[in-house]
């Protein structure tokens, strides 16, 4: 069974009643139960539900643009009135977009419940042009704040929550830690967040993890900015950035410089959600596996979570990073998908029972 960490008895009872999956025994797929194997295989094994998006580009205060992919769910029989149709904002991982299989599955789950979804694509990675020499990072929440307030302004009467995966979860936690209760979001779900960036990069720099994940992730980051080289060369030595062989080297030469940090340590300190968890002011459910090499078990802020009545951690012994595969042939629904579906439904249908906590 997962370990459920929550100091608020009322939140615990709410989860046990309306999100019972967090108390059920999680049985990982027997032939790929190890965390790294789950992490590697999930993108290839899981299906990719068909989703028809409506794309929208919105302008930012600094002259940039953000790509939003909407799944309006206008055929919703549960919520035919678009003005009050519950809305879920989805934040993909580090180099992820609305096309990631885990995002498509979240939308598929939301569709069956009648909800609307909107995917926040970080600047410059969803095919849109980069209008300014700026991309994104886990610590800077300005773009996310702009998107949340924009979506809320379009549907002010619609119940509104968010779900973030990996770096998307880190960004969402950093936003929630900054805003406290001053947010239009009712609640949030976080999956496979890296809680302490120092510990995450150290884990990813171990020889086998570097070979399996770090080098590939670094090349993905480089690929995501190479299309915008002409714009970015105005501020960066792109030849040096392209020589990076680890995520840490990339962040040292590019990310920390772009956002004005004096050092990479300053950036990693600011980007680590464990520092802001105590300030989160709305109900948040966080799912992590303790065998996730991207977020080592010893770095999960269990004691800090116990000090905030709004926070619940669900910790599984297996599952890897955005893995959580289950069943003999795990093509469709994962444990993570089930946690997402039940928690989102619990918040939208029964949320009044936790909002008086």
pLDDT one-digit tens code per residue, 73-104: 999 999 999 999 999 999 999 999 999 999 99
Rounded distance between C-alpha atoms, residue 304 and residue 159, angstroms:
28
CA atoms in the 13 A half-sphere facing the CB of 21: 19
pLDDT at 269: 98
- Give mean pLDDT, residues 160-181: 98
| Spacing of C-alpha 53 from chain mean position | 19
DSSP letters along 45-71, please? HS-------EEEEEE-TTS-EEEEEEE
**Alpha carbon separation from 202 to 162, 194, 243, 267, 294 (Å, rounded):** 29, 12, 20, 15, 9
Average pLDDT of the segment spanning 158-165:
98
Domain 3-196+275-353 has CATH 3.40.50.1820: yes
The overall pTM is greater than 0.85: yes
Domain limits, the chain = 3-196+275-353, 197-271
Does residue 114 contact residue 79 with C-beta atoms inside 8 Å? Answer: yes
Which residues are identified as catalytic? 166, 292, 321
How sure is the predictor about 332, in pLDDT bands with cuts at 50, 70 and 90?
confident
Q: What's residue 330's pLDDT?
A: 86
Q: What is the pLDDT of residue 239?
A: 94
Is residue 356 scored above 60 in pLDDT?
no
């Amino acid at each position: 069974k997962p370990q459920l960490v929550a100091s608020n008895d009322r939140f615990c009872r709410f989860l046990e009643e309306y999100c019972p999956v967090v108390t059920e025994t999680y049985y990982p797929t027997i032939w790929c139960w190890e965390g790294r194997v789950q992490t590697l295989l999930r993108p290839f094994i899981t299906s990719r539900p068909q989703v028809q998006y409506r794309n929208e580009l919105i302008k930012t205060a600094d002259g940039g643009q953000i790509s939003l992919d909407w799944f309006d769910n206008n055929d919703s029989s549960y919520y035919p009135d678009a003005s009050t149709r519950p809305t879920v904002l989805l934040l993909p991982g580090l180099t992820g977009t609305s096309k990631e299989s885990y995002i498509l599955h979240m939308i598929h789950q939301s569709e069956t419940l009648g909800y609307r979804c909107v995917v926040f694509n970080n600047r410059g990675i969803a095919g849109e042009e980069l209008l300014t020499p700026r991309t994104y990072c886990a610590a800077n929440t300005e773009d996310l704040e702009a998107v949340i307030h924009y979506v809320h302004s379009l549907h002010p009467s619609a119940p509104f929550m968010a779900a973030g995966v990996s770096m998307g979860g880190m960004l969402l936690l950093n936003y929630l830690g900054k805003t406290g209760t001053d947010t239009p979001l009712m609640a949030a779900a976080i999956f496979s967040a890296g809680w302490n960036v120092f510990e995450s990069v150290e884990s990813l720099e171990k020889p086998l993890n570097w070979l399996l994940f770090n080098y590939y992730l670094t090349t993905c980051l480089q690929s995501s900015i190479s299309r915008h080289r002409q714009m970015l060369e105005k501020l960066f030595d792109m030849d040096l950035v392209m020589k990076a062989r680890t995520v840490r080297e990339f962040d040292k030469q590019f990310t920390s410089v772009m956002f004005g940090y004096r050092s990479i340590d300053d950036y990693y300190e600011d980007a680590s959600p464990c520092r802001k968890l105590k300030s989160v002011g709305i109900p948040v459910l966080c799912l992590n596996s303790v065998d996730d090499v991207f977020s080592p078990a010893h770095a999960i802020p269990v004691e800090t979570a116990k000090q905030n009545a709004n926070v619940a951690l669900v910790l599984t012994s297996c599952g890897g990073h955005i893995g959580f595969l289950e069943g003999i042939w795990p093509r469709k629904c994962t444990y993570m998908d089930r946690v997402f579906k039940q928690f989102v439904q619990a918040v939208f249908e029964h949320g009044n029972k936790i909002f008086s906590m």
